[in-house]
Amino acid sequence: MRLLGPLARPDEPPPESVTDVPIRTDPISVVRSFRRFWPLTYGDRRWLLLICVLAAVTAVAETITILLFAELTDNALQQGSVSAFWKPAGQWLTVAVIGAIVGYLCSSLAVWTAERFVMRLRARVFSHLQTLPPHFYQRNRRGDLVERLTGDVEAIEALVVSGIVGAATALFNTFFYAAAAVWLSWKLALATFAMIPLFYLVTRVFTGPLRAVSRRGRAADGAITAVVEETLVNVVMTQAYNRQHDEEERLLGKARARFKAAVRGTRLAELYEQLVEVLETVCVLVIIGLGAWQISTGGITLGQLLAFAAFIGSLYPPIRSLGQLGLTATAATAGAERLLEILDTEPTVTDPGASVAAPARRRAVGEVEARQVDFHYPGNPEPVLRGLSFTAVPGELLVITGPSGAGKSTLAALLLRFYDPDSGSIRLDGTSVDQLPLTYLRRNITLLPQDTLVLHDTIEQNIACGRTDTTLRDIEEAARAADAHDFIRALPDGYNTVVSPGTSRLSGGQLQRIAIARAMVRDAPVLLLDEPTTGLDALAAQRILGPLRRLAEGRTTIVITHDLALATDADRILVLDEGRLVESGTHTQLLDRSGLYATLFDAKPSRRNGTVNAYAKHARPSGIHWR
Ligand SMILES: Nc1ncnc2c1ncn2[C@@H]1O[C@H](COP(=O)(O)OP(=O)(O)OP(=O)(O)O)[C@@H](O)[C@H]1O
């Protein structure tokens, strides 16, 4: 296994059954979703309260304007009296202006609060994602995780902040309009309100199907992003292996699922809208019929009937939006489920952080020890490491090798404390790593992964890698020692050349040398190299050995490798098999023992002439010398 994620095989798409975006089988309720995300409004709740107050003021202003309209109709229009016009008209204008100002403040404050919530939620999920162990990323597709951080985060906002604001606005409008309608004519109001359960019933009928279709839509969105992301990452292989058509089919499959969900979702929403419109029309006709009868009996004036109709007309949008809000909230639970899947995944290790005293010296000495380590991966009871013990001291070069699946990369993951052992301990300078702050531990171990990690930044910044106390001179010095200075200088913008992950114009060997320069700048006492020569040809591999040697000087260097050419000069070689340390010694000692190491060594094809078993015992293979 590579410590930093799986390699995509060029000739086959990721197995859908393993990596496809799962739809959670235990849907969570709107209330539970709301409760889980409500704490994130902390700090902004007073603004939410203010928004609700402003929404109430807007609703009152709207109610008053409709009542003033009734007064104008009865006194100015019906009587044909201009003098009766001015006072209510002036009042109407004043209330309308106040309502407009308050409405504007309410909307802008609502957007501000909603966006702050989105920002906070995204940061929270992102920060949690960064604490999750490597196996989480092996089991989830990157594209889908991206979708969760974008689309799903916004869906939660619709449930929590916009949900509250929308509900408050709709409730206040409903309350004031309904109160005014009752005040104008309670009989008419009663007849109209009797129809409200019908709206409720229609909303209930649509909730379930809309929720299901929305969950399918969110999952399909995640799958599309995942397929696009994977295809773009592997675009060279896609083209080289003529897989364009297969990739298009893969995308089309996901797009079809989204298409179906989107069409069905829109149809359902539209059907709901139309049904509600029909119900509204029925209500209006009932009002007009009953109103005509009330006017004929003198129970209501024309102005009051018009105002009543206006109130009822204004009452439907908030009632509808309450129903709509229910649907939006239901749809948002699909996003909530997907985000909670991330947030509920516990990190495999906890940082003792401030609860333990950080060692007095910032830089560790670099003594590494594994003491009787047993380990199995979460969710897989099969033991991966069994009773493993070894030590490595500064200045020592330790090579860890063994057949595929022996547990070498797992050991590296334990050294960096991505996981804790089931029993036994990993120690740095005699202290168990779970008793050290994670930042301290990882500052003192530099990992050189198989694929150099490149940040989208200049080469200078890539070498500095976040260290602000380095000067260009330090960086150049490190690049010289890493044998990278000359090729960097030859680039059009030298150290200011911008490189990007996956699109870097640099060769594998050049990238490795940049990684070595970065490690030099980092100056950690422990070096952990994961297959440093994989993917490099013999010359490129040979070329990085000098810089690696300079880097390793005085440090504890642990090299995980299949490339036994690197093992010949090691101070000690540990051979792992099925999680056990089966052999330990120098190259010569292990060859003499004729055990697993000798078998692995003999099976190694020569880099020089391509023949198998070309190395004579005790010979240095392929002319690559570590020291
Ligand atoms: N995330 C994981 N969940 C469960 N099992 C895992 C996980 N990662 C690795 N394993 C298993 O742990 C065992 C050791 O894997 P590891 O990657 O450490 O071996 P390795 O010696 O580094 O192999 P290779 O040389 O092929 O990289 C293997 O059986 C592997 O299938």
Q: Which of 296-300, 373-377, 446-450, 498-502 holds the top average pLDDT? A: 373-377
Global pTM reads: 0.69
Ligand 1 centre and the CA of 407: distance in Å? 6
CB 311 within 8 A of CB 177: yes
pLDDT-derived band at 281, boundaries 50, 70, 90: confident
410 lines ligand 1 (CB under 6 A): yes
pLDDT at res. 549: 81
Q: What is the pLDDT of residue 503?
A: 56
Distance CA(223)–CA(430), nearest Å, equals 46
Residue nearest to atom 5 of ligand 1 (CA): 377
Specify the ligand 1 atom closest to the Cα of 2.
27
DSSP state of 184: H
The whole-number pLDDT of residue 615 equals 33
3-state secondary structure 202-217: HHHHHHHHHHHHHHHH
User: Percentage of residues in the chain with pLDDT exceeding 90?
Assistant: 20
Token pair of 243 as six digits: 């897989």
Atom of ligand 1 nearest to the CA of 562: 25
pLDDT for 535 equals 65
Report the separation in Å between the CA atom of 52 and the middle of ligand 1, taken as the mean of its atom positions. 55
Pairwise pLDDT comparison (328 vs 356), residue with the higher score: 328
What's the pLDDT at 21? 42
Write down the pLDDT at residue 573: 92
Find, among 619, 588, 445, 427, the residue nearest to 530 by Cα.
Answer: 445
3-class state of residue 423 by DSSP: strand
Per-residue pLDDT at 70: 82
Question: Does residue 68 have its Cβ closer than 6 Å to ligand 1?
Answer: no
Which domains does the chain carry?
19-343 (1.20.1560.10), 364-444+524-614 (3.40.50.300), 454-523 (3.40.50.300)
Rounded average pLDDT over 291-309: 84
Q: Is residue 161 scored above 70 in pLDDT?
A: yes
Mean pLDDT, rounded, for 33-50:
89
pLDDT tier, 609 (very low <50, low <70, confident <90, very high otherwise)? very low
Instruction: Look at 259 and 210; give whichever has higher pLDDT.
Output: 259
Q: Are 170 and 322 in contact (CB under 8 A)?
A: yes
**What element of type H or E holds 229?**
helix 196-233
Between the CA of 428 and the centroid of ligand 1 the distance, in Å, is 24
Give φ, ψ of 423 to 5 degrees. Answer: -150, 165
Chain-wide mean pLDDT for the chain?
Answer: 81
- Determine the pLDDT at residue 216: 86
Asked if 400 contacts 413 with a C-beta cutoff of 8 angstroms, the reply is no
- Residue to mutate (ligand 1; options 410, 414, 419, 561; most atoms within 8 A of CB): 410
Sequence-ordered strand ranges (E) for 433-566: 445-448, 457-458, 498-499, 526-530, 556-560
- Exposed e or buried b for every residue in 181-194, given b needs 16+ CB within 10 A? bbebbeebbebbbe
Residue 1's pLDDT is what?
47
pLDDT of residue 242 exceeding 60: yes
Q: How many angstroms separate the Cα of 191 from the Cα of each of 57, 202, 286, 316, 360?
A: 28, 19, 8, 15, 79
Q: Reply yes or no on whether the pLDDT at 54 is more than 90.
A: yes
User: How confident is the model at residue 97, as a pLDDT?
Assistant: 93
Answer whether 138 contacts ligand 1 (Cβ < 6 A): yes
Higher pLDDT, 143 or 69: 69
